[in-house]
Amino acid sequence: MERQRIIAQGSLREFENDGDDLDRYYLPARELVVEGNIYLLPEYNPLLEYASQLNQILLSINQLSRRILTIPDNDYLLDLAIFQNITLLKNQLNRNLNYLVYPYEVTDETLMWIRELQQVGFNIEAAFPKKPYFDDLYHPAHRGGWGRWVNQPEIPSFAELNNLPYPISWIGQGLEQINEAYKRVCDSSGQNLVFFKPIFSAGGFTLAKISSKEELKRHYEKLKNQGALDFDGKEIPVEIQAFIPNIEELFSFQYDENGNLLTPQGLSKQLIESNQWQGNFFNGFDVPEEVNNIWQNFRKSYQEYLGNHNFGWGGVDIAKTSGGRWIILEHNGLRITGAHPAIFLAHQLQVSKQPFMTLKSPGKVNSDLITIWNLLKKEKLSFDPSSRVGIFPIVWFPGSGMLFAAGENPQKLLNDAYNLFVKNNYIKTS
CATH code of the domain in which 168 resides: 3.30.1490.20
Is residue 106 included in any domain, yes or no?
Answer: yes
Across the chain, what does the average pLDDT equal? 95
Per mean pLDDT, which range of 264-278, 312-326, 335-349 is the poorest? 264-278
CATH code of the domain in which 67 resides: 3.40.50
My answer on whether 371 and 273 are in the same domain is no
Which of 195, 216, 242 is the C-terminal boundary of a domain? 242
My answer on whether 263 and 274 are in the same domain is yes
CA–CA separation, 256 vs 341, rounded Å? 12
Task: Give the confidence band of 1 by pLDDT, cuts at 50, 70, 90.
Answer: low
Which pTM was predicted?
0.94
What letter does residue 139 receive in the DSSP assignment?
A: -
Residue from 255, 235, 97, 43 nearest 51 by CA: 43
Is residue 160 included in any domain, yes or no?
Answer: yes
Identify the pLDDT of residue 14: 84
My answer on whether 274 and 301 are in the same domain is yes
Is residue 417 included in any domain, yes or no?
Answer: yes
Task: Determine the average pLDDT of the residues in 80-99.
Answer: 97
Identify the pLDDT of residue 203: 61
| Rg of the chain in Å (alpha carbons) | 22
My answer on whether 89 and 9 are in the same domain is yes
Write the pLDDT tens digit of every residue in 357-384: 999 999 999 999 999 999 999 999 999 9
Strand, helix or coil at 236? coil
Task: Determine the average pLDDT of the residues in 339-358.
Answer: 97
My answer on whether 20 and 115 are in the same domain is yes
Residue from 4, 244, 239, 29 nearest 102 by CA: 4
Is residue 131 included in any domain, yes or no?
Answer: no
Which domain does 312 fall in, by range?
Answer: 245-334
CA–CA separation, 246 vs 321, rounded Å? 5
Is residue 136 included in any domain, yes or no?
Answer: no
My answer on whether 118 and 15 are in the same domain is yes
My answer on whether 188 and 219 are in the same domain is yes
Identify the pLDDT of residue 202: 67
Which of 303, 334, 365 is the C-terminal boundary of a domain? 334
Which of 93, 126, 159 is the C-terminal boundary of a domain? 126
3-class SS shares of the chain: helix, strand, coil, % to 5: 35, 25, 40
My answer on whether 175 and 215 are in the same domain is yes
CATH code of the domain in which 400 resides: 3.30.1370
Write the pLDDT tens digit of every residue in 23-65: 899 999 999 999 999 999 999 999 999 999 999 999 999 999 9
List 169's β-bridge partners, or say none. Answer: 241
- Cβ(171)–Cβ(159) below 8 Å: no
CA–CA separation, 21 vs 15, rounded Å? 8
- What is the domain count for the chain? 4
Write the pLDDT tens digit of every residue in 166-223: 999 999 999 999 999 999 999 999 999 999 999 997 666 789 999 999 999 999 999 9
Write the pLDDT tens digit of every residue in 220-260: 999 999 989 998 889 999 999 999 999 999 999 999 999 99
Distances (CA, A) of 12 to 17, 80, 81, 140, 335: 10, 11, 13, 19, 11
Query: Looking at 233-386, which runs of residues are DSSP E strands?
Result: 234-235, 238-242, 247-255, 268-273, 276-282, 314-321, 326-332, 356-360, 364-365
My answer on whether 176 and 238 are in the same domain is yes
Write the pLDDT tens digit of every residue in 288-297: 999 999 999 9
Taking the CA atoms of 294, 31, 143 and 185 in sequence, report the sign of the dihedral they define. positive
Is residue 375 included in any domain, yes or no?
Answer: yes
**Backbone phi and psi for residue 349, each to the nearest 5 degrees, phi listed first:** -90, 0
Is residue 18's pLDDT more than 80?
no
pLDDT: is 275 or 171 the higher one? 171
Task: Determine the average pLDDT of the residues in 58-81.
Answer: 97
Is residue 19's pLDDT more than 90?
no
**Backbone phi and psi for residue 377, each to the nearest 5 degrees, phi listed first:** -65, -45
Is residue 78 included in any domain, yes or no?
Answer: yes
**Percent of the chain residues past pLDDT 90, beyond the cut:** 90
Identify the pLDDT of residue 16: 85
Is residue 10 included in any domain, yes or no?
Answer: yes
